[in-house]
Amino acid sequence: MLLKILLGFLCGVVALAAENDTAQQGPPALLLVSFDGFRADYLKRFPMPNLKLLYTQGVLVEQLTNVFITKTFPNHYSLVTGLYAESHGILASNMYDPVSHKHFHINNDTDPMWWNKAQPLWVTALDSGYKTGAVMWPGSDVIISNRTATHFMSYNPAVTFQQRLRNVTNWMLGDGKEPGVKFAALYWEEPDRSGHLFGPDNTTAMGEVLKEVDDNIGLLISELKETGLWGRTNILITSDHGMAQCSAERLIRLDGCLHPDNYTLIDLSPVTALIPNKDPEAVFTLLNECHPHMTAYLKKAIPDRLHYRNNEWIQPIILIADEGWTIVQRGNKLPRLGDHGYDNSLSSMHPFLVAAGPSFRQGYRISRLESVDVYPLMCHLLSVNPRPNNGTLTQARCMLAAETCWDVPLMIGLVVGVLLMLSIITVLFRALSQRRASGPRPFQRLQVDDDDDDDPLLE
């Protein structure tokens, strides 16, 4: 009897120790990887065996609806903050602050003023006691909320993907004494760079670069397996935007509409931002009538759906080119064969999302997800309290293995189908009942009761 009590006590101690150890370890580590400019339909157009291996073991979001404008810096900051560009403040590749008269450019971007309207996950997770890391992710080398990630690498295109990945896995493994990084973000500039050079419709060139991208994903899988991080790390592979094909026949020249003395140019791209130097209404009228494939907006009239109006760094007039059209000041030179920045409702601007790891369902697909929903998903995976954001976990929750998620359209269809069937049965039943009631009655013999004792009329 004493032996049984002792064994029970020891089992309890072991179980408690294991529980405490699990609690100390916390949730699985999370690795976020972005392949810049990876258009969603590349998955259908080009063979990607390593990426396919990941999403067959996890979740594939076929199209991620990104934020406007569909540029690299705004969308990468949206992924790690869950905010629209007007909320987090990184509005474009080039910005101007009319108060401080400071200029922002992607090659001159380390002033915290531009980034401090929001707090990225690599900073927020520090408050949960986690170490974090970021490799060349836009903004990761900037001091935000007086902090940086525990480890970070500034952008350097000479550093190979394998070298970047090796730094990440070393951070995640730790030194054996201290726990490793719990959240890491890794950036790679392809296929965006090649998409600009060759255009997304160049099947040969894009096929080669996407093979390299898929080989890098194979390296990632191998590295995680060799280091023992595979199976205890949640992986998100995604992108910031897609890519549209451009041509010299689709140029919009601003000088053909108004003299450059009339405005100060802040950003020139498929979405152009400028400040009128003279009568704003007159400048706007000229730009509004400039070209049938370009739409001009006064700041106050920018559509609500773009979430691109409520910020002091949005310029008084913005111009949005139609898909595949390029805005230039003058001349006939096409800057790029492929470009992005266009309206985020266009499928060509949408990236994808693949999720795999111990927290995710296997072989599951979602047709669409908002990119601002990635942030609350990551906070949930890390058990981190999210900062205020524009995303929601409602749809992304369906990706998780521990969640019971109903397919809402399917359920609505089933309910409607059942109600319709019940209605049909009810109508048929009533019709049959009415038919029986109105038809000829069958012959019945009249029954005569000979017992008159109970007749009240007889005395």
Residues found in the chain: 459
Q: Is 354 helix (H, G, I), strand (E, B) or coil?
A: strand
Torsion of CA 434, 438, 442, 443, to 10 degrees: 150
Q: Which residues is 238 bridged to in the sheet?
A: 34, 353
DSSP string, 33-90: EEETT--TTHHHHS--HHHHHHHHSSEEEEEEE-PSS--HHHHHHHHHH---HHHHS-
> What does each C-alpha distance from 35 to 97, 177, 206, 224 come to in angstroms?
30, 33, 14, 18
- E strands, 110-156, are 131-135, 151-153
Within 176-292, where are the H helices?
A: 192-198, 203-226, 280-288
| C-beta of residue 174 within 8 angstroms of C-beta of residue 130 | no
| C-beta of residue 431 within 8 angstroms of C-beta of residue 423 | no
Say which of 22, 56, 65, 72 is annotated catalytic.
72
| C-beta of residue 35 within 8 angstroms of C-beta of residue 213 | yes
Backbone torsions φ then ψ of 358, nearest 5 degrees: -65, -20
Written as one letter, the residue type at 130 is Y
Within 289-445, where are the H helices?
A: 374-382, 408-438
Q: Is 165 helix (H, G, I), strand (E, B) or coil?
A: helix
Peptide bond into 157 cis (omega under 30): no
72 as an active site residue: the answer is yes
Angle, vertex CA 12, rays to CA 9 and CA 18, nearest 5? 145
Whole-angstrom Cα distance, residue 418 to residue 397? 27
Instruction: Name which of 373, 354, 379 is nearest 365 in CA terms.
Output: 354
Positions marked active-site: 72
